[in-house]
């Protein structure tokens, strides 16, 4: 199989619609909800209803976090498939050209929905269809090392009893349910970590507080405590069996799907900064000429060209990781490469654009300073820059996590 570097024609209407939504619905309210932290963006309810209508008609191609899954029928006849993963990263990039925080606040498009799509069996897919799910992984003593999770799940009859605390849960207060990562047996390490769907209102689950953050202020980020929280056994996603040989692979399959999504958020936010900065440079008399060497142009134009090249690399890595998922190819290495490149490039570009635009970039008169704040989290959550590079190194060198720490 070979990947084409041209955007699939069948996704052009979807991408165009997403761009229009970003420009006409998200941008106009972007500053409003940056100022009104934790206030739910009511305008998103209408947008969510539109997306539901597109999904039911089949016109959305599964765009958005809820649509991301591995299609077992993909590529069975040897053909190349452009499916839901590619549609999702392309449409999410456009939405984040509008606003990252608002995209992360979309009903029924939570990262927990990707976890369900990645790990759940068919019965669970049907049962949790339409549920808005956030994802709870990080703990006070466990940041990047997800294998070190201390939240426990103990089987008691036909329920699991959860105990522990989760922090930085995106949409943790607004969502209908939380996908909680917990261990069945601490002594068995990574292999015993499973994910559980815990509906809101379940006794023993308490939203402790909402965090005040540097960026993505439109998105609520919660700390959630679990005390003797009883969850039906059928809410354990995938197989309840502990497969020591498989290790952490079942849980990590979620990241293989969500990391390209986060890369697409960084790509979209960086694209917004580049587009606006180019306009501001042109107004200041600095024209970026793609047909002349950078060294013979204005220093600002030379910097802009370098950022464009970095952006293009991140964009192509993002497409590759999503395309491989659509075509049932193992993409753990490529997902981490895309996330690492896009996360770093997103932060570098948005902050450099603030610098290039000078006082205009630093003031709240434009959204450049906001995009530099929003983009920082995209280099941190779903695995930090450093963790991604560690994963890439392990994959390239053929070493296990125990051999390369």
User: What residues act catalytically?
Assistant: 382
Which of 250, 251, 275, 279 has its CA nearest to residue 19? 275
Which of 26, 225, 27, 262 has its CA nearest to residue 140? 225
For 207, phi then psi, to 5°, come to: -80, 110
Quote helix, strand, coil % in the chain, to nearest 5. Answer: 55, 15, 35
Which residues have C-beta within 8 Å of that of residue 260, sequence separation ≥ 6?
Answer: 85, 89, 318, 321, 322, 325, 331, 335, 338, 339
Distance CA(165)–CA(66), nearest Å, equals: 25
Q: 214 vs 1, 211, 219, 347, 369, CA distance in Å?
A: 43, 10, 11, 13, 11
CB 265 within 8 A of CB 318: no
- Interior/surface letters 50-71, b for 16+ CB within 10 angstroms, e for the rest: ebeebbeeeebbbbbbbbbbbb
Distance CA(162)–CA(227), nearest Å, equals: 7
Distance CA(254)–CA(119), nearest Å, equals: 7
DSSP letter at 236 equals B
Q: 398 vs 62, 339, 394, 395, 401, CA distance in Å?
A: 34, 20, 6, 5, 10
CB 141 within 8 A of CB 119: no
Distance CA(97)–CA(93), nearest Å, equals: 6
Distance CA(339)–CA(335), nearest Å, equals: 6
Paired strand residues for 136: 180
């Amino acid at each position: 199989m070979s990947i084409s570097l041209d955007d699939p024609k069948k996704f052009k209407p979807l991408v165009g619609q997403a761009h229009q939504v970003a420009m006409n619905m998200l941008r106009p309210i972007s500053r409003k909800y940056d100022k009104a932290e934790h206030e739910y963006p009511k305008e998103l309810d209408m947008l969510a209803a539109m997306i539901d209508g597109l999904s039911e008609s089949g016109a959305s191609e599964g765009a958005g976090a809820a649509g991301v899954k591995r299609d077992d029928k993909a590529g069975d006849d040897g053909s190349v498939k452009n499916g839901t993963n590619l549609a999702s990263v392309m449409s999410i990039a456009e939405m984040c050209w509008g606003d990252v925080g608002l995209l992360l606040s979309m009903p029924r498009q939570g990262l927990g929905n990707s976890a369900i799509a990645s790990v759940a069996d068919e019965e669970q897919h049907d049962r949790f269809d339409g549920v808005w799910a956030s994802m709870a992984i990080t703990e006070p003593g466990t940041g990047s090392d997800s294998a070190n999770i201390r939240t426990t799940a103990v089987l008691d009859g036909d329920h699991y009893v959860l105990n522990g605390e989760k922090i930085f849960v995106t949409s943790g207060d607004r969502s209908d349910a939380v996908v909680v990562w917990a261990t069945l047996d601490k002594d068995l390490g990574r292999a015993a970590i499973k994910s559980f769907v815990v509906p809101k209102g379940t006794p023993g689950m308490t939203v402790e507080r909402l965090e005040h953050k540097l960026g993505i202020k439109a998105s609520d980020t919660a700390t959630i405590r679990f005390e003797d929280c009883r969850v039906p056994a059928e809410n354990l996603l995938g197989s309840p069996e502990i497969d020591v040989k498989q290790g952490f692979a079942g849980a990590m399959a979620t990241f293989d799907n969500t990391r390209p999504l986060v890369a697409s958020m960084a790509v979209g936010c960086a694209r917004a900064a580049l587009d606006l900065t180019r306009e501001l440079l042109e107004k200041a008399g600095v024209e970026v000429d793609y047909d002349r060497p950078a060294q013979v142009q204005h220093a600002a134009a030379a910097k802009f060209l370098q950022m464009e090249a970095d952006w293009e690399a991140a964009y192509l890595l993002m497409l590759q990781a999503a395309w491989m998922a659509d075509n049932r190819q193992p993409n753990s290495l490529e997902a981490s490469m895309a996330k690492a490149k896009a996360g770093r490039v997103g932060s570098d570009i948005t902050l450099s654009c603030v610098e290039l635009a000078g006082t205009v970039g630093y003031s709240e008169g434009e959204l450049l300073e906001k995009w530099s704040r929003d983009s920082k989290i995209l280099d941190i959550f779903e695995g930090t820059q450093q963790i991604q590079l560690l994963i890439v190194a392990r994959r390239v060198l053929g070493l296990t996590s125990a051999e390369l720490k």
